[in-house]
Amino acid sequence: MTDDIILKFADAEILLDETAYHKIKAFEDSSQLVNSLINHLTMSPSEMLVLTGDQVEEYLGNSEIYSPLSKKTSEMAQSKLLPQEFDLQILKDASQKSYTNGEIKDLSSYFKNRYQKLKDLLISKRELADNQSIKEATSINDAVKIVGMINDIRSTKNNHKLIELEDETGSATVLIHNENHEVFEQAERLVKDEVVGVLGSRKGTLIMANELINPGVPRIDEKPMDFATVFLSDIHIGSSTFLADAFDRFIQWINGNYGDEQQQEIANNVKYVVVAGDIVDGIGVYPSQDKELTIKDIHQQYEEAARLFGDMSHVKIIIAPGNHDACRLAEPQPAIPEDYAKGLYELKNAEFVSNPAMVSLDGIKVLIYHGRSFDDMAMTVKGMSHQQSDLIMKELLEKRHLAPIYGERTPLASEIEDHLVIDDVPDVFHTGHVHINSYRRYKGIHLINSGTFQSQTEFQKIYNIVPTTAQVPVINNGSLKMLDFS
Ligand code: D5M
Ligand code: FE
Ligand code: ZN
């Protein structure tokens, strides 16, 4: 038994001196300590081969996690005393890459980039392998295979759909007959400025569509996840409708001091907390908002956020902005500026990313997007609503774009690159903004909307938005748990 410890270290090519061995052996949960020490030593660049007792002592003493988090030290909380090894990688972040302030001169290069990226995805599909340019297609009579950006969508008087499709060579009018039920139903989800493929035939000046093709996403394989990730958004700190008591229960929970045994076990497994925007309520976001603020200064709102988030010291926190945060509104939104959120930036375990952003948490790819474009999708597409953001998320994945409709409620910066194209397929697609949670598994991808920690505001009353408050989605060992702190 005892030599298990020595063997494990030997396997990792680490030798122990005698005191190190005894110190580890004396530790209550020595096998966990062995694993985390080996992990730590093999990850740190030093070439040390002999582990000394002092180094074990130093490892335990230095670790932030080792200092007890709370008064309560049940056996349950025990394993949390061990340090966690985080593997956070920022795969895509637009914070440093926003070159323009959305001036018109860049609009055409912005659309060109959007078109090119999505076209590349489309023509890599078998169905569109031998596609023609629109100019070619409008001069032939048989099978048409084209890729274009949608310029306009109309209905004819007999309720067929007409779409205006454009590429770099010209434009074509595509008719989708309403008796062609499957295609017509798909056509009802088309929006302006998305890029699609059309299979059909030319009839005079029109192209009759037989099939519409989205860039789409492949079914992905499930990856092992032996940890838990908490998905938050729309906390709205500073608002008079921010649910401070519920948020306090959440903090108690994550520290192992709230909830039943099963819930505490999940808390114990949490490594990452992701925040998809609207961490604070902001200032002047909508008319008369100040009447509903308890903290009327943006810096103070972030200071309060820092105080609350400061009580989660054993997990890695990833924070992206939303439309209430102190960022430019045009998407991609760069990370929350340090000037506004000094206290938050002082938290050693917090990372700030843009909206949208893609991160990797222990190899699990999480696409974070606040969800402003959901307002446009809900307004424009029949059957879509704030209540079912999972349907919107599914559609955005199929379109491979986070905000396909240009020039409506979602301000988009016309950058040289379109950062809202979904270049890479995530394992988790995490959003917020609508204040109503949702969850769905789509082609193996977890679609999560976090809901909110803010009860209904006057503004939301007008829009008849009934929020789901203080319910927190957690992915624990690969499956969703919804925890209720209300
Ligand atoms: O968004 C809070 C809620 O209000 C969310 O359900 C979206 C909705 N909302 C926000 N702005 C608009 C506009 N302009 N039109 C329709 N619905 C909207 P929050 O971002 O927290 O204010
Ligand atoms: Fe919000
Ligand atoms: Zn929002």
pLDDT tens per residue across span 311-325: 999 999 999 999 999
C-alpha to C-alpha distance for 235 and 212, rounded to whole angstroms: 39
Report the pLDDT value the prediction gives residue 67, as an integer from 0 to 100.
32
Tell me the per-residue pLDDT of 142-174, one tens digit each, with 9 for 90 and over. 899 999 999 999 999 999 999 999 999 999 999
Is the domain of 381 the same as that of 362? yes
CATH of the domain at 160: 2.40.50.140
Contact predicate 196/112, CB 8 Å: no
Residue 472 falls inside a structural domain: yes
Is the domain of 383 the same as that of 274? yes
Distance (angstroms) between ligand 1 centre and the Cα of 232 equals 17
H or E element at residue 200: strand 195-203
Residue 352 has pLDDT above 80, yes or no: yes
Is the domain of 138 the same as that of 25? no
For residue 149, which of 122, 188, 183, 179 has the smallest C-alpha distance? 122
Is the domain of 232 the same as that of 196? no
Q: Which of 149, 181, 213 is the last residue of a domain?
A: 213
Residue 477 falls inside a structural domain: yes
Burial track 384-409 (b if 16+ CB lie within 10 A, e otherwise) = bebebbbbbbbbbbbbbbbbbbbebe
Residue 231's pLDDT band (boundaries 50, 70, 90)? Answer: very high
Residue 364 falls inside a structural domain: yes
C-alpha to C-alpha distance for 337 and 339, rounded to whole angstroms: 5
Ligand 1 atom, smallest distance to 278 CA = 21
Compute the mean pLDDT over every residue in the chain, rounded to the nearest whole number. Answer: 90
Ligand 1 atom, smallest distance to 324 CA = 20
* Residue of 465, 466, 468 to test ligand 1 pocket, by largest number of atoms within 8 Å of CB: 465
Ligand 1 atom, smallest distance to 379 CA = 16
Report the pLDDT value the prediction gives residue 63, as an integer from 0 to 100.
47
Residue 395 has pLDDT above 90, yes or no: yes
CATH of the domain at 320: 3.60.21.50
Ligand 1 atom, smallest distance to 436 CA = 6
User: Chain-centre distance of CA 74, in angstroms?
Assistant: 34
Q: How many residues does the chain have?
A: 486
* Residue of 435, 456, 464, 469 to test ligand 1 pocket, by largest number of atoms within 8 Å of CB: 435
Percentages (nearest 5) of helix, strand, coil residues in the chain: 30, 25, 45
Distance (angstroms) between ligand 1 centre and the Cα of 413 equals 20
Is the domain of 230 the same as that of 367? yes
Distance (angstroms) between ligand 3 centre and the Cα of 84 equals 32
Residue 64 has pLDDT above 50, yes or no: no
Contact predicate 86/369, CB 8 Å: no
Residue 41 falls inside a structural domain: yes
User: Going by CA atoms, what residue is nearest to atom 6 of ligand 1?
Assistant: 434
CA-based torsion, 297, 299, 304, 308: positive or negative: positive
* Residue of 236, 388, 459 to test ligand 1 pocket, by largest number of atoms within 8 Å of CB: 459
Contact predicate 249/311, CB 8 Å: no
User: Chain-centre distance of CA 98, in angstroms?
Assistant: 19
Contact predicate 187/176, CB 8 Å: yes
* Residue of 233, 236, 433, 458 to test ligand 1 pocket, by largest number of atoms within 8 Å of CB: 433
User: Going by CA atoms, what residue is nearest to atom 20 of ligand 1?
Assistant: 433
pTM for this structure?
A: 0.84
Residue 305 to residues 267, 329, 365, 426, Cα–Cα distance (Å): 21, 20, 26, 28
Ligand 1 atom, smallest distance to 435 CA = 6
272 compared with 62, residue with greater pLDDT? 272
Label each residue of 213-268 as H, E or C.
ECCCCCCCCCCCCCCEEEEECCCCECECCECHHHHHHHHHHHCCCCCCHHHHHHHH
Q: Residue 70: helix, strand or coil by DSSP?
A: coil
CA-based torsion, 340, 448, 455, 290: positive or negative: positive
Give the Cβ contact number of residue 135 at 10 Å. 14
User: Going by CA atoms, what residue is nearest to atom 17 of ligand 1?
Assistant: 375
Distance (angstroms) between ligand 3 centre and the Cα of 279 equals 9
Report the pLDDT value the prediction gives residue 34, as an integer from 0 to 100.
78
- 214's CB contacts (< 8 A; 6+ apart) are 196, 197, 398, 399, 400
330 compared with 69, residue with greater pLDDT? 330
Is the domain of 235 the same as that of 354? yes
H-state helical runs in 105-256: 107-123, 134-137, 181-187, 244-254
* Residue of 236, 275, 375 to test ligand 1 pocket, by largest number of atoms within 8 Å of CB: 375
Torsion of CA 259, 262, 266, 268, to 10 degrees: 80
Question: Domains in the chain: how many in total?
Answer: 3
Ligand nearest to the CA of 450: 2
CA-based torsion, 157, 160, 163, 169: positive or negative: negative
Is the domain of 323 the same as that of 395? yes
User: Domain range for residue 179?
Assistant: 125-213
Mean pLDDT to the nearest integer, 345-357: 97
Report the pLDDT value the prediction gives residue 65, as an integer from 0 to 100.
36
Per-residue tokens: 397: 């994945």
Q: Which of 159, 192, 213 is the last residue of a domain?
A: 213
Is the domain of 196 the same as that of 224? no
Ligand 1 atom, smallest distance to 465 CA = 6
Residues with CB under 6 A from ligand 1: 234, 278, 323-324, 375, 386, 409, 433-435, 460, 463, 465
Report the pLDDT value the prediction gives residue 274, as an integer from 0 to 100.
98
C-alpha to C-alpha distance for 237 and 247, rounded to whole angstroms: 10
Residue 71's pLDDT band (boundaries 50, 70, 90)? Answer: very low
Residue 120 falls inside a structural domain: no
β-pairing, 471-476 vs 228-232, is antiparallel
C-alpha to C-alpha distance for 470 and 314, rounded to whole angstroms: 22
C-alpha to C-alpha distance for 365 and 126, rounded to whole angstroms: 26
Residue 107 falls inside a structural domain: no
Mean pLDDT to the nearest integer, 127-149: 92
- 56's CB contacts (< 8 A; 6+ apart) are 19, 20, 23, 24, 37
Contact predicate 400/217, CB 8 Å: yes
C-alpha to C-alpha distance for 62 and 298, rounded to whole angstroms: 34
Distance (angstroms) between ligand 1 centre and the Cα of 282 equals 14
User: Going by CA atoms, what residue is nearest to atom 14 of ligand 1?
Assistant: 409
Residue 130 falls inside a structural domain: yes
Distance (angstroms) between ligand 3 centre and the Cα of 348 equals 26
Tell me the per-residue pLDDT of 415-450, one tens digit each, with 9 for 90 and over. 888 999 999 999 999 999 999 999 999 999 999 999
Q: Which of 213, 239, 262 is the last residue of a domain?
A: 213
Comparing 148-152, 177-181, 204-208, 331-335, which segment has the lowest mean pLDDT?
Answer: 204-208
User: Going by CA atoms, what residue is nearest to atom 4 of ligand 1?
Assistant: 460
C-alpha to C-alpha distance for 135 and 38, rounded to whole angstroms: 63
Ligand nearest to the CA of 457: 1
Is the domain of 360 the same as that of 230? yes
CA-based torsion, 475, 480, 485, 486: positive or negative: positive
Tell me the per-residue pLDDT of 171-194, one tens digit each, with 9 for 90 and over. 999 999 999 999 999 999 999 999
Residue 79 has pLDDT above 60, yes or no: no
Is the domain of 310 the same as that of 450? yes
Tell me the per-residue pLDDT of 28-48, one tens digit each, with 9 for 90 and over. 777 777 777 776 666 554 555
User: Going by CA atoms, what residue is nearest to atom 8 of ligand 1?
Assistant: 434
User: Going by CA atoms, what residue is nearest to atom 12 of ligand 1?
Assistant: 375
241 compared with 66, residue with greater pLDDT? 241
Report the pLDDT value the prediction gives residue 70, as an integer from 0 to 100.
32
Distance (angstroms) between ligand 3 centre and the Cα of 236 equals 9
Is the domain of 417 the same as that of 293? yes
Is the domain of 273 the same as that of 396? yes
**DSSP secondary structure code for residue 275 in this structure:** E
Distance (angstroms) between ligand 3 centre and the Cα of 244 equals 19
Q: Does residue 235 come out as left (phi exceeding 0), alpha (psi in the -120 to 50 range) or beta?
A: alpha
Report the pLDDT value the prediction gives residue 260, as an integer from 0 to 100.
95
Report the pLDDT value the prediction gives residue 128, as an integer from 0 to 100.
97
Residue 75 falls inside a structural domain: no
Percent of the chain with pLDDT over 70: 90
